């Protein structure tokens, strides 16, 4: 399939040669700075590392309002467990599969590299009609939106902002969820397992995973919740001792794989194996629609120190008790049917003396976000963990009246003969932070179609890029 617009995909290919993990985007910042300067455009980098490149209006359109185009340049770095890849050094390897662009065993980086590429293509073009443009590129959106939260107050000066970080072409987003992350740490001194213990390593992989906001309502299996379910059931029957539990990597991704190591009495090992096989069959049936490639494994392993029995029991009980998935559905008439409040148990990491659990909470209603965070916190408090919660980021509330929203909807219908879907999104967007700092800014968010973001199955729908491009040019001409 031909990659159109060619200029957009040219820039996307260049971007994917540059390592840009969240919080380690220095090479990308330097690339954008050099690119803007070499094209003789006003280019600035703020103290946080956000980049702005300004382009004057087309001749005769200098009096049009200034439009801000905005995307983030960091990416979620995830890969298949058996793929060798260094996200700090290696270039993303892409390939075409029908109408989709994919990466070989890693995340593609189209979230939000394709938005960056669209902006660079517009900056480079000399045949597009537009008023004054401010192309803004933010860092570290995927972890804590620290680029947007650290942006200087006068960095952007435009009247309208188009965020290019949405993932369903034909949908225009006008609100988003706020979010916080809760981290619980259990501290301990490991000890020797009881005499006569037999050690088992149990793992699951091949789950679908996905974005913890966009995909949370799709009932996809969470590796941490599945493994902890088994541990909780076995804890009721046997004197199992937990040695390690590791799963998940990013707070904003549904974990796709994980493993734990346990010690059981030698005479109980065969019953644990039987229980594992029965449990695997039950879970596969439970998720037979969303997760069709589960791979289960249980093997013997070397003896190792274990967590104190009470600490391990508290960890397992907490993981069983934690809310995971959809907590509430939005009741607003215009946004009805959308997830309002949710939580995702995102990662578990065991070291020699700590076990750390990270869970992320989202809500489009800030009071419900606070309630959900307290629900998660309370479960950890009961289990005796030490808890931290980050400051999070605010929700973006829909404006009752929006001139930009009207233009975006009108130009879409003119171009494609149908109305776009105007809705909110349960993911976090930087628009929430912008709405606090720039309360009069008129904003929308849209972008080409992406699927399975934040996973190695991430893919970009090639034809949707051209539709977004044509739509964006029509908007710039109309404003």
* Active-site residue list: 74, 141
Structure tokens at 479: 């404003």
Instruction: Count other Cβ atoms within 10 Å, centred on residue 164.
Output: 22
Would you say 348 and 355 are in contact if contact means Cβ atoms under 8 Å apart?
yes
377-380: which pairs have CB atoms within 8 A and are 24 or more residues apart?
377/182, 379/318, 379/321, 379/322, 379/323, 380/182, 380/184, 380/318
Rounded-to-integer distance, Cα 115 and Cα 108, Å: 13
Structure tokens at 82: 């058996």
Rounded-to-integer distance, Cα 358 and Cα 147, Å: 22
Strands 210-211 and 253-254: antiparallel
One-character DSSP codes across 83-148: ----TTTPPP-EEEETTEEEESSB---HHHHHHHHHHHHHHH-SS---S-EEEEEES-TTTT-HHH
Q: What is the number of H-type helices and E-type strands within the chain? A: 11, 23
Would you say 125 and 41 are in contact if contact means Cβ atoms under 8 Å apart?
no
Phi, psi (5° rounding) for residue 420?
-75, 160
Structure tokens at 275: 């229980």
Helix (H, G, I), strand (E, B) or coil at 434: helix
Rounded-to-integer distance, Cα 154 and Cα 152, Å: 6
Helix (H, G, I), strand (E, B) or coil at 158: coil
């Amino acid at each position: 399939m031909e990659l159109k617009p060619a200029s957009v995909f040219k820039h996307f290919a260049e971007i994917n040669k540059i390592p840009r993990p969240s919080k380690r985007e220095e090479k990308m910042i330097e690339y954008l700075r050099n690119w803007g300067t070499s094209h003789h455009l006003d280019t600035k980098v703020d103290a946080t590392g956000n980049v702005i490149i300004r382009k004057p209006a087309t001749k005769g359109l200098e009096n049009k309002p200034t439009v801000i185009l905005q995307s983030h340049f960091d990416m979620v770095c995830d890969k298949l467990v058996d793929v060798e890849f260094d996200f700090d050094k290696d270039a993303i390897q892409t390939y075409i599969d029908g109408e989709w662009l994919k990466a070989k065993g890693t995340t593609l980086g189209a979230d939000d590299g394709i938005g960056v590429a669209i902006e660079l293509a517009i900056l480079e073009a000399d045949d597009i009609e537009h008023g004054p443009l401010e192309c803004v590129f933010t860092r570290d959106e995927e972890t804590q939106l620290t680029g947007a939260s650290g942006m200087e107050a006068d960095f952007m000066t435009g009247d309208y902002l188009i965020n290019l970080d949405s993932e369903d072409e034909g949908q225009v987003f006008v609100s988003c969820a706020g979010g916080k992350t809760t981290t619980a740490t259990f501290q301990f001194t490991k000890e020797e397992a009881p005499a006569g213990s037999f050690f088992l390593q149990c793992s699951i992989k091949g789950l679908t995973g996905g974005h913890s906001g966009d995909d949370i309502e799709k009932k996809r299996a969470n590796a941490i919740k599945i493994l902890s379910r088994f541990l909780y059931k076995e804890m009721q029957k046997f004197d199992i001792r937990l040695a390690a539990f590791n799963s998940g990597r990013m707070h904003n991704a549904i974990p796709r794989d994980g493993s734990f190591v346990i010690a059981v009495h030698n005479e109980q090992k065969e019953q644990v194996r039987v229980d594992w096989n029965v449990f695997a069959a039950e879970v596969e049936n439970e998720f037979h629609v969303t997760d069709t490639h589960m791979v289960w494994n249980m093997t013997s392993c070397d003896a190792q120190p274990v967590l104190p029995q009470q600490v391990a029991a508290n960890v397992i009980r907490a993981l069983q008790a934690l809310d995971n998935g959809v907590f509430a559905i939005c009741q607003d008439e215009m946004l009805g049917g959308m997830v309002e409040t949710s939580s995702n148990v995102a990662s578990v990491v065991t070291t020699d003396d700590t076990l750390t659990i990270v869970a992320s909470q989202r809500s489009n209603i800030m009071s419900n976000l606070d309630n959900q965070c307290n629900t998660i916190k309370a479960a950890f408090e009961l289990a005796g963990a030490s808890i931290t919660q980050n400051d999070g980021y605010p929700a973006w509330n829909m404006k009752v009246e929006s001139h930009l929203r009207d233009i975006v909807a009108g130009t879409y219908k003119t171009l494609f003969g149908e109305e776009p879907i105007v809705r909110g999104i349960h993911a976090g967007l930087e628009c929430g932070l912008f709405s606090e700092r720039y309360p009069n800014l008129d904003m929308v968010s849209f972008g080409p179609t992406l699927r399975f973001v934040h996973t190695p199955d991430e893919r970009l729908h090639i034809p949707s890029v051209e539709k977004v491009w044509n739509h964006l040019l029509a908007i710039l001409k109309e404003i």
